[in-house]
Structure 1
Amino acid sequence: MSNQDSRPIILTGDRPTGQLHLGHFVGSLRSRVGLQDSHHQHLLLADAQAFTDNADNFEKVRRNIIEVATDYLAVGIDPTKTTICVQSSLPALNELTMLYLNFVSVARLERNPTIKAEIQLRGFERDIPAGFLCYPIAQAADITAFKATVVPVGEDQIPMIEQTNEMVRRINRQIGHDLIPECKALLSNMSRLPGFDGKAKMSKSLGNTIVLDATDKDIKKAVNAMYTDPNHLRVEDPGQVEGNIVFTYLDAFDPNKDEVAELKEHYRRGGLGDGTVKKRLETVLKELIEPIRERRIELAKDPDYIMDILRTGTEKCRDITQQTLDEVKTGLGVFHF
């Protein structure tokens, strides 16, 4: 990055444990495409973080690095504007994580609400992999290695940003000046997208996602499975919009907000059938996904192109992160050549 580049630095990314889906699109991908012109953006394929709860299946993580990178390019991420890199090939991140382990307690990690929720979701109880418990530290290393000041996250990740900034303040105090900048969370305009089955979270592990290369048949099946208002038994009955998954998705993806508002009013007063609303959503999702799917098919024909992008981006980021590591070591008084 040029010293003359005064754009804010963004670090964001995904765990490569499966293809990305509409939850990722509305939560982050859409905004990343828009931010790559106004910000200096790094996209991190967080494979090392994915290993913390996939240690029995490294091949799954490795395979999905290519899948997720292909998703990035298919939705409009431009590798000439956004640097895409692979976490496990940036050794400075591991060294920073080891240093940062000394600036946070186990008790503080266990109090992190995001960690507590994820531990419960995965059923770890007290059998928690140490790597998983410590991933807020690794995440702090990721963010600070790039000196990112903006980190797009969902609301559930805010505690991770707060913990990162706590560590930044402690490290800067130890060094004696503000070497590492604090970061701010950039929240999506859309809250977390529920799964099409009505569960609070769209998740690969729950099997309730619509992937970015879903076929028309897949989309139709998912939309037909969506819950509406259980009390809306007849077309003429008034219906409830709040908590109605179909309207939640229309709010997220339908570009015509005025028409969606009219549909909601019609549904509330009665006379609008669930089938009509679902048909509109099906059309909206097909129009959104079709060009992404077509681009993805073309990209998948040239895996060497994807690998070249990852290799080039990772080499660039290796230099950036190593420079930060050297500065932190010097500031803390760590012996290094």
Structure 2
Amino acid sequence: MAIERIVSGMRPTGNLHLGHYNGVLKNWVSLQHEAESLFFVADWHALTTHYDDPGIIEKNVWDMVVDWLAAGIDPALATIFIQSKVPEHAELHTLLSMITPLGWLERVPTYKDQQEKLTSKDLSTYGFLGYPLLQSADILIYKATQVPVGEDQVPHIEFTREVARRFNHLYGKEVGYEEKAEDAIKKLGSKKGQLYRELKTVYQEEGDDQALEAAQALIEEQQNLSLGDKERLLGFLEGGGKMILVEPEYKLTPASKMIGLDGQKMSKSYNNTISLREEPKEVEKKIRTMPTDPARIRRNDPGNPDNCPVWKLHDVYSSEKTKDWVKIGCKEAGIGCVECKQPVIESVLKELKPMQERASNYTESPDLVKSVVAEGCEKARKLARDTMREVREVMGIDFS
């Protein structure tokens, strides 16, 4: 049974906004308490679409990491690192490209979608075609068991599982595999070896998942087995070969209800955001000037909250009691739009205040941010090196 490990990344887009916080970061903050977590800055992925404007990437990286830390990502709980600082990602991507059918890449849904949306860019590059495979390498190199994604990213995880399955099928059957697995069973001792065989039979003949979990736990508990023997027994248990790359599961991220100041999705490209480090006065000004229900031209005109972007913010930030007050007050013209916006302003400022206090500690000490990332890169690279040693060995290119 693989160690529970969560891996997720984000392209460096600079300062983050409330859409990022409610859509991704709040979830990451929660997940870091549930399992070993690695969060990385996907700077190579940024180059797949911004290869002609690299000057913005470095500043964006550091701004984004500060916002992660401000949002509550804790370096004591999670590993924060930069993708390009762990070159093993690129090595695994290259090796996986040797076995990945071209058709698999061309059928990834976002490939054509992005090409249609970003018509101003020439995306007929190998880097853009191959970015789902680089994404797979980002995940597989850490043997991630869970990857938090939105629904639109589920096909990427299914693709990653296919790549891992193909790799294990091609390279998991080492010479003398079954003999080595039998030798590993003997190392368990007679009682545990017999238990392993019984659980293996029950799982393979009856598909009993409890038997599978019990056998996996039995293997993981053994201190006298090498990592290679454990992986042989895990693969033998499921009737396959040696499990080298772990097939990750997707972990659906709760859909963000956060909308922008104009009622559209919050996005820098729409210029409708509130950044996590926005000055309180600017936050207040932005919300106060938000458009409301166009039917409410005068203070005494009744309105409909469903036609008002501010109502969607109430949906995220207000209590049921406040929402009831807004509904009645709007429909009966009992409150004005300025009054309606005030609870949202207060709630947003309350949410941002601790983040901004944490951010100031890091902006005043940039060396501290770099230290956090350097330590994270070192931890990540150690895990990546361990995986690459196994990958090179089974692919016949381990010349050490």
Superposition deviation, residue 154 in structure 1 = 2.0
CA distance in 2, matches of 1:75, 1:99: 36
Shift of 1:236: 5.3
Q: Which SS does the other structure have where 1:186 is aligned?
A: strand
Following superposition, the deviation at residue 270 of structure 1 comes to 5.2
Contact conserved, 1:15 with 1:45, CA < 8 A, in 2? Answer: yes
Matches within 5 A, 1:298-337: 298-337=361-400
1:274-326: CA deviation from partner (whole Å, max 9, x where unpaired): 32222221111111112211221221111111111111110111110111122
Letter in 2 for 1:74: A
Say if 1:285 and 1:95 are closer, same or farther in 2 by CA, change over 3 A: same
* SS of aligned partner of 1:226: coil
Q: How does 1:166-315 map to 2 (within 5 A)?
A: 166-176=162-172, 177=241, 178-191=243-256, 193-200=258-265, 202-235=266-299, 238-242=302-306, 244-254=308-318, 256-264=319-327, 266-268=329-331, 271-315=334-378
1:86 aligns with 2:82: yes
CA contact (8 A) 1:154 1:191 kept: no
Corresponding residue number in structure 1 for 2:15 = 19
| Residues in 2 aligned to 1:238 and 1:168: alpha-carbon distance in whole angstroms | 58
The number of residues matched between the two structures is 331
After superposition, the Cα gap between the structure-2 partners of 1:258 and 1:174, relative to the gap in structure 1 and judged at 3 Å, is farther
Q: Sequence identity, in percent?
A: 34
Deviation of 1:260 after TM superposition, in Å, equals: 2.6
Distance in 1 (alpha carbons) for counterparts of 2:315 and 2:324: 9
CA shift at 1:327, angstroms? Answer: 1.6
What per-residue deviation string (whole Å, max 9, x for no partner) do you get for residues 250-280 of structure 1? 22234x3443355345545653433222222
Task: Judge conservation of contact 2:49–2:121 (CA < 8 Å) in 1.
Answer: no
Equivalent residue for 2:219?
none
Q: Distance in 1 between matches of 2:252 and 2:303?
A: 31
What is the identity, as a one-letter code, of the residue corresponding to 1:158? V
What residue identity is the alignment partner of 1:121?
K
C-alpha change, 1:303 and 1:243, in structure 2 (3 Å) is: same
Task: Tell me which moved more, 124-133 or 37-46.
Answer: 124-133
Q: Which residue of 1 aligns with 2:129?
A: 133
**Matched AA of 2:369:** I
Alignment equivalent of 1:63, drawn from 56, 59, 66: 59
CA contact (8 A) 2:328 2:334 kept: no
Q: Deviations over 1:154-176 (max 9, x none)?
A: 22222222221221222222223
Q: Give 1:146 deviation, angstroms.
A: 1.0
Give the match's secondary structure for 2:39.
strand
- Quote the Cα distance in structure 1 between the aligned partners of 2:59 and 2:16: 13
For structure 2, list consecutive stretches of 5 or more residues without a partner in the other structure: 173-240
Q: Distance in 1 between matches of 2:99 and 2:325?
A: 54
Secondary structure of the structure 2 residue equivalent to 1:37: coil
Matching of residue 159 in structure 1 with residue 155 in structure 2: yes
CA RMSD, aligned part only? 2.5
What do the CA deviations read for 1:222-256 (whole angstroms, capped 9, x no partner)? 323434333344555554444643222222234x3
Distance 1:228 1:190, change over 3 A: farther
* Aligned position for 2:202: none
Structure 1 portions without partners, runs of 5+? none
Matches within 5 A, 1:37-48: 37-48=33-44
Residues 179 and 283 (structure 1), Cα distance of their counterparts in 2 relative to 1, 3 Å cut: same
Does the CA contact (< 8 Å) of 1:174 and 1:332 recur in 2?
no
Three-state SS of the structure 2 residue aligned to 1:80 is coil
* Partner residue in 2 for 1:116: 112
Query: Equivalents in 1 of 2:159, 2:398: separation in Å?
Result: 27
String of CA shifts for 1:80-108, please: whole Å, max 9, x gaps: 11111110011110011112223434443
Tell me the SS of whatever aligns to 2:270: coil
Q: Tell me the amino acid that sits aligned with residue 392 of structure 2.
A: K
Structure-2 separation of matches of 1:237 and 1:99: 66
Displacement after TM superposition at 1:121 (Å)? 2.4
TM-score, length-normalised on structure 1? 0.88
State the distance in 2 between where 1:227 and 1:117 align.
Answer: 31
Residue 38 of structure 2 aligns to a residue in which SS? strand
Q: Is the 8 A contact 1:14 1:44 kept in 2?
A: yes
